Structure 1
Amino acid sequence: MSDALINGLAGAGGGIIAQLITYPLQTVNTRQQTKRDPRNATEKNHGAIQQMCQVVKHEGWGRLYGGLAPSLVGTAASQGVYYYFYQIFRNRAESAALARWKNGIGDGSVGMFSSLLVAATAGCVNVLLTNPIWVVVTRMQTHTKSLKKTPSHTLSTTPEESIPIAAIEPPPYGTSHAVQEVFTEAGIWGFWKGVLPTLIMVSNPSIQFMLYETLMKQLKAKRALNKNSTNGVTALEIFLLGAVAKLGATVITYPLLVVKSRLQAKQVKDSDKKHHYKGTLDAIMKMIHYEGISGFYKGMSTKIVQSVLAAAVLFMVKEELVNAARLLLTKDAGLIDKVLSKPP
């Protein structure tokens, strides 16, 4: 099994576990990002926990996990695709760096700019392939469950004896409904809504991985100087490095995430044009005009908690899975060699 495939599968596994743990926070955050009332730009928002309680109270537990199934598929696909291509591009970058070192250029290691380029390239491939999944997930996360009221038949001419208005619960909003809604609105290209800010947001994992690998390199170098310490990095240290790296990347790129969510959510086509976005630039201009700069940072505290926790879990689980897979393959290879080396 190739190293790229091991990293791809491990990334998919780590992503799924992280998604399961943090999904309610993600649902609440997406709803915070897509609020379009200008008065809410500086409103007294409930905290993430309070908002989750409100969703459970008015819509049920299921709404916190709206879109979970396509989200898990998207997470597995995104992490698998990303880590697979990242490892391929990383291997090529390392080979190129080694070749330059043999020619007397550099120290044989992949520099910061090369690491950024590798992560960005892998991220672009990932976005183009998986954007349709995330459009559907966003629709399902932002869909609110409400009761439809319909007048019932009046059984008497007197108001006291008439049957009150009956509340009818709408049918469940599933993946097929979201897919049909997107296609009806904008056709096949509707599944690539928000792809421009998402491509620009490739800088998020790029910055994240650049920070992570830089911090990891510094930690290993420090360990190497300490004679009484082992060079190994613990799962807790990987967790903390992943959290710090994701925190830095999230703070820098959060406004793009808000714009992407606005574009991918259901468009409100009515007389109020401020609720309808024609594209990325139109969304940015309307948000600035009607909501101000603070509109680009709605739900940021929730996102920081969710993304930092998810990234830390992902890094920790992925590294453990990669190490376990390599150890298993090494043992299997050793066992095969031992069997083949025995005399007949």
Structure 2
Amino acid sequence: MSDALINGVAGAGGGIIAQLITYPLQTVNTRQQTNRGPKKTKRKLTTIEQMCQVVKHEGWERLYGGLLPSLVGTAASQGVYYYFYQIFRDRAEAAARDRLKKGLGDGSVGMFSSLVVAAYAGCVNVLLTNPIWVVVTRMQTYKKSSTSAKAHSNPSINPEIAAIESPSYATSHAVQEVYDEAGVFGFWKGVFPTLIMVSNPSIQFMLYETMLKKLRARRAKRKEGNSGVTALEVFLLGAVAKLGATVVTYPLLVVKSRLQAKQETEEDKKHHYKGWMILLDKSTGTHDAIIKMIHYEGFSGFYQGMSTKIVQSVLAAAVLFMVKEELVKGVRLLMRPDINLVKKVRRPP
């Protein structure tokens, strides 16, 4: 099994575990990002308060709305990303060794090369998996009608009537809704800011690889060649790397969520984003969304729910890195024959 495949499978496994742990925070954060409020509003609810509101009015299941397609998307995204990341990195390392033979460089992949490698892998990932995340966003931002909410909190209301007036919002409903709105191109809504957002994992991996490389080099000097790192250290490095990347790219994430969420026809036109910035943004436009957000909500609108996102993404990234590294070690250990055992078996009597 190649290193690229091992890293791809391990990345998918780590992503699924991280997603299961942090999904309620992700749902609340998506709702915060797509809340089109004015510049001046009443006191905003905290993340915990919002989670309680969702449970009270819509039930526990809404915190996990879109979990199944999200898990599929996470597995696909992490698998695709790590697979191509390893392929591109292997090529970058081969190029670095070739330069070393020519007397150029030290034979290692530099910070800029790591950034480019991560960007390439991110672009491939976005183009292949964007349709999944459009569906996930729809399911996370879907809210039950007032009749359904009352039925949940008031047993006297006939639940069958509530179910008729507000049917469960399944994955198939979200897919059909997106297709009815904009056809096949609708599944690539928000792809333009998402492509720009490949800088997030690029920055994240650049910081992570740089810090990991320095830590291993320092440890190798102190422990006579032992450059191993613990799972806790990987967890902390992943958290710090994700924190830095999230702070820089969060506004793009808000714009992407706005574009992918359902555009209610009865809402004020200032909440409809239409433009010409990219062909795939057929019914909603990145340019129009940015302009209207600045005009009606101010620059603070680009940072709605950022505190929730930092907690969710940093925790998810830390868990992902830790689990992924442990899975890679485990798979390699299983695939590597025990040298001492082989010698013992082959030793003549």
Normalized against structure 1, the TM-score is what? Answer: 0.90
How far 1:45 sits from its partner (Å)? Answer: 1.5
* Pair 1:39–1:293, CA change in 2 (3 A): closer
Letter in 2 for 1:191: F
Report if aligned partners of 1:78, 1:130 keep a CA contact under 8 Å in 2: yes
**C-alpha distance in structure 2 between counterparts of 1:8 and 1:221, whole Å:** 26
The answer to whether structure 1 residue 53 and structure 2 residue 49 are counterparts is: no
How far 1:148 sits from its partner (Å)? Answer: 3.7
Report if aligned partners of 1:90, 1:115 keep a CA contact under 8 Å in 2: yes
The answer to whether structure 1 residue 107 and structure 2 residue 106 are counterparts is: yes
Partner residue of 1:283?
A: 289
> 1:28-60 CA distances to partner (integer Å, 9 max, x unpaired)?
0000000012146x6522111111111001100
5 Å matches for 1:120-199?
A: 120-148=119-147, 168-169=162-163, 170-199=166-195
**C-alpha distance in structure 2 between counterparts of 1:92 and 1:300, whole Å:** 36
Partner residue of 2:333?
A: 327
> 1:172-227 CA distances to partner (integer Å, 9 max, x unpaired)?
10000000000000000000000000000000000000000111111111112214
Partner residue of 2:153?
A: none
**C-alpha distance in structure 2 between counterparts of 1:107 and 1:206, whole Å:** 22
Letter in 2 for 1:110: V
Report if aligned partners of 2:27, 2:64 keep a CA contact under 8 Å in 1: yes
**C-alpha distance in structure 2 between counterparts of 1:204 and 1:271, whole Å:** 32
5 Å matches for 1:223-238?
A: 223-227=219-223, 230-238=226-234
- Look up the SS of the partner of 1:240 in the other structure: helix
**C-alpha distance in structure 2 between counterparts of 1:334 and 1:98, whole Å:** 32
How far 1:232 sits from its partner (Å)? Answer: 1.2
Partner residue of 2:27?
A: 27
Partner residue of 1:303?
A: 309
Normalized against structure 2, the TM-score is what? Answer: 0.89
How far 1:230 sits from its partner (Å)? Answer: 3.9
Report if aligned partners of 1:100, 1:106 keep a CA contact under 8 Å in 2: yes
CA RMSD across the alignment: 2.1
How far 1:331 sits from its partner (Å)? Answer: 2.5
What is the aligned length? 327
Letter in 1 for 2:95: A
**C-alpha distance in structure 1 between counterparts of 2:63 and 2:208, whole Å:** 31
- Look up the SS of the partner of 2:167 in the other structure: coil
- Look up the SS of the partner of 1:168 in the other structure: helix
Partner residue of 1:6?
A: 6
* Pair 1:89–1:336, CA change in 2 (3 A): farther
> 1:109-129 CA distances to partner (integer Å, 9 max, x unpaired)?
001111000000000000000
Q: Which runs of 5+ in 2 are unaligned?
A: 149-156, 275-284
* Pair 1:193–1:49, CA change in 2 (3 A): same
> 1:129-167 CA distances to partner (integer Å, 9 max, x unpaired)?
000000000000000012349xxxxxxxxxxxxxx9996
The structure having more radius of gyration, on CA atoms, is 1
**C-alpha distance in structure 1 between counterparts of 2:340 and 2:95, whole Å:** 31
Equivalent position to 2:254, from 245, 255, 258: 258
Report if aligned partners of 1:147, 1:168 keep a CA contact under 8 Å in 2: no
Report if aligned partners of 2:26, 2:312 keep a CA contact under 8 Å in 1: yes
* Pair 1:76–1:337, CA change in 2 (3 A): farther
Partner residue of 2:37?
A: 37
**C-alpha distance in structure 1 between counterparts of 2:218 and 2:13, whole Å:** 30
Report if aligned partners of 1:269, 1:275 keep a CA contact under 8 Å in 2: no
**C-alpha distance in structure 2 between counterparts of 1:310 and 1:107, whole Å:** 34
> 1:61-107 CA distances to partner (integer Å, 9 max, x unpaired)?
00000000000000000000000000000000000000000100000
* Pair 1:269–1:88, CA change in 2 (3 A): same
Report if aligned partners of 1:132, 1:192 keep a CA contact under 8 Å in 2: yes
Report if aligned partners of 2:39, 2:298 keep a CA contact under 8 Å in 1: no
Partner residue of 2:280?
A: none
**C-alpha distance in structure 2 between counterparts of 1:19 and 1:222, whole Å:** 33
* Pair 1:102–1:52, CA change in 2 (3 A): same
Equivalent position to 1:313, from 319, 339, 348: 319
- Look up the SS of the partner of 1:38 in the other structure: coil
Partner residue of 1:205?
A: 201
How far 1:171 sits from its partner (Å)? Answer: 1.2
Q: Give me the identity figure in percent.
A: 77
**C-alpha distance in structure 2 between counterparts of 1:229 and 1:165, whole Å:** 70
* Pair 1:271–1:172, CA change in 2 (3 A): closer
- Look up the SS of the partner of 1:44 in the other structure: coil
Letter in 1 for 2:175: V
Letter in 2 for 1:214: T
